Amino acid sequence: MKVLYIQSGYGGIYCYFDRWAEECFRNTHTEYMSADTLEAETLVKIETFQPDFALLMVGDRVPHDWLTWLKGKGIPVYVWLTEDPFYMDISLQVIKLADAILTIEQNAVLYYQGLGYQHVYYVPIPVNHRLFKKMGTEHSYHSNLLIIGYPYPNRVQLIKEAVHLPFTVRVIGKEWRKYLPKKVLKQ
C-alpha cells in the first residue's frame, strides 16, 4: 500500500501528529510520501509515486483545486478531521471532495452520516504510546472535571462557570493562563 500523507500546515501539536503518522507508516512498512504543499514539483513526484490514496490531516488548508487534481488522477482522498466538533463548519467545507471521512468525534460520525456521507469512520486522535503511558496510582490526581488540550472559547467559558461549583477542576495544556483570570487559575 502507498499513502500520500498531506500535512495539516499547522504548528503546535500538529507537528507531533505529522511525525507520529509518519512513524506509524515506517513501523508498519507502509510506503508513503509526505507533502505539506502541492506545488508543481510535488505533483510530478506524486504522479511518479502513484499512491493508493491521499490522507489529509485536517485538510482545511488544502486548496480545493488540489483535491480536484487528486480526484482527477484517480487518487481517493481521505480526510482526518482532528478538530471536530469545534470546527465542524470548516470540516463541512473540506469533506465535500473526500472519499472517506475520519473523525476523532464519535457523535460527528452520526452527524456526517445524517448529511448523506456514507464512508465516515471514528478514528481517535493520534497518540505516541511510547511517550504517553498510563501513570501508576502514586501519581494520579483526582478531579471532577479534567480538560486536556487547547483553551477553545467554549472550554474557557465552561471552566469560568465550573469554578463556582463544588468541583475539583483541572486544566492541562498550553495557553490556559492567557484566557483564564488569575482568580480562576488560583482555584
Do 96 and 8 fall within a single domain?
Answer: yes
> Which CATH number characterizes residue 31's domain?
3.40.50
Give residue-wise pLDDT tens across range 2-21: 999 998 888 888 888 888 88
Q: What mean pLDDT do residues 30-59 have?
A: 90
- Give strand pairing partners of 172: 148
Lowest mean pLDDT, pick from 124-128, 159-163, 177-181: 124-128
Domain assignment of residue 132, yes or no: no
Do 103 and 34 fall within a single domain?
Answer: yes
Domain assignment of residue 101, yes or no: yes
Domain assignment of residue 127, yes or no: no
> Can you give the pTM of this predicted structure?
0.76
Q: What mean pLDDT do residues 156-170 have?
A: 84
Counting the structural domains of the chain, the total is 2
Do 21 and 83 fall within a single domain?
Answer: yes
Domain assignment of residue 131, yes or no: no
Q: What mean pLDDT do residues 17-33 have?
A: 90
Residue 169 structural domain: 137-186
Q: Residue 136 — very low, low, confident or very high, per pLDDT cuts 50/70/90?
A: low
Do 62 and 11 fall within a single domain?
Answer: yes
Q: How far apart are CA 157 and CA 180, in angstroms?
A: 9
Cis check: omega of the bond before 151, within 30 degrees of 0: no
- Give strand pairing partners of 79: 56, 101
Asked whether 175 and 151 are in contact (CB, 8 A), the reply is yes
Q: What is the pLDDT of residue 140?
A: 62
Q: What mean pLDDT do residues 74-82 have?
A: 94
Do 94 and 56 fall within a single domain?
Answer: yes
CA 79, 82, 85, 88 dihedral sign is: negative
Do 35 and 70 fall within a single domain?
Answer: yes
Do 55 and 15 fall within a single domain?
Answer: yes
pLDDT at 106 over 80: yes
Q: What mean pLDDT do residues 122-129 have?
A: 80
